[in-house]
A = this chain, B = another copy of it.
């Protein structure tokens, strides 16, 4: 491992290892942490397919790896998990900690263009800088990568895959913010990071708009939503995805009766998502 990556903790889990790393991010201009699960290694040359998981508002690198119950199936199917943080931290930008849905913990996986938030380059971080660092230092096969996420991170996963047609083998999302250009969380974030007037740029980070325009290899997309999700109507607007028809996108939206927005919902279906990605990664 290069000195770029410093290990903060390591715990054995289902025969593999959960490791928390910290590194200096050039793209974000601050230290960033992430969690990785590497299944049990048969040999020192084994490389695993990798599933990135982007978390939602207020989360850190810890939530998914501690609460989703994903390691059991990932160990069984030989899939590595990579869980980044959700924003830069500790930059001392005025107001960065004022809201739970903007600034710290709410990077929204875009590249900010407003000068005040110039460090908020989470799109480049999760699609380029972090994968490069992971591929150079950890036993993960760069040619077999998929992506998933929850809520704001579901939006992140969808746009990362739709904007990079050959980077990911498959994409899935739990309760994604599906049309951020037209919901309060998205409008607040895009106004702040991208500027109020730059609607053309906003559309480049909107999953439902990108889905309509996607023109890469056929992409399998699995979306999981609870019909009791408290954010469904106002913020998530998942029907905006199903409204779009595109023969290049094989979208399956699974509506789960009685489930909400919580990690109890995620843990109930995360193994289905890992199996879905494994099918594309192996």
Contact = CB atoms under 8 A, between A and B. Distances in A.
A18 interface: yes
Contact of A71 (B13, B262, B267): B267
A231 interface: no
A18 B262 CA distance: 11
A175 B69 CA distance: 20
A149 to B, nearest CB: 19
Nearest to A15: B268
Given A12-B228, A12-B259, A259-B12, A69 B264 contact: no
Interface residues of A, number: 23
So how many copies of this chain end up in the complex? 2
Contact of A13 (B11, B13, B228, B264): B264
Given A66-B67, A66-B263, A67-B67, A14 B268 contact: yes
A35 to B, nearest CB: 11
A107 interface: no
Contact of A69 (B15, B69, B226): B69
Interface in A231-263: 258-260, 262-263
Main secondary structure of the interface of A (DSSP, over half): mixed
A123 interface: no
A18 B66 contact: no
A260 B13 CA distance: 9
Contacts of A67: 66-67
A265 B72 contact: no
Contacts of A258: 12
B11 A262 contact: yes
B72 A18 contact: no
A67 B263 CA distance: 10
A62 B11 CA distance: 21
A28 to B, nearest CB: 27
A12 B267 contact: no
Contacts of A264: 11-13, 18, 71
Contacts of A268: 12-15, 71
Interface of A: 11-15, 18, 66-67, 69, 71-72, 226, 228, 258-260, 262-265, 267-268, 271
11 contacts: A11-B260, A13-B264, A13-B268, A15-B268, A66-B263, A69-B69, A69-B72, A69-B267, A71-B264, A72-B267, A72-B271
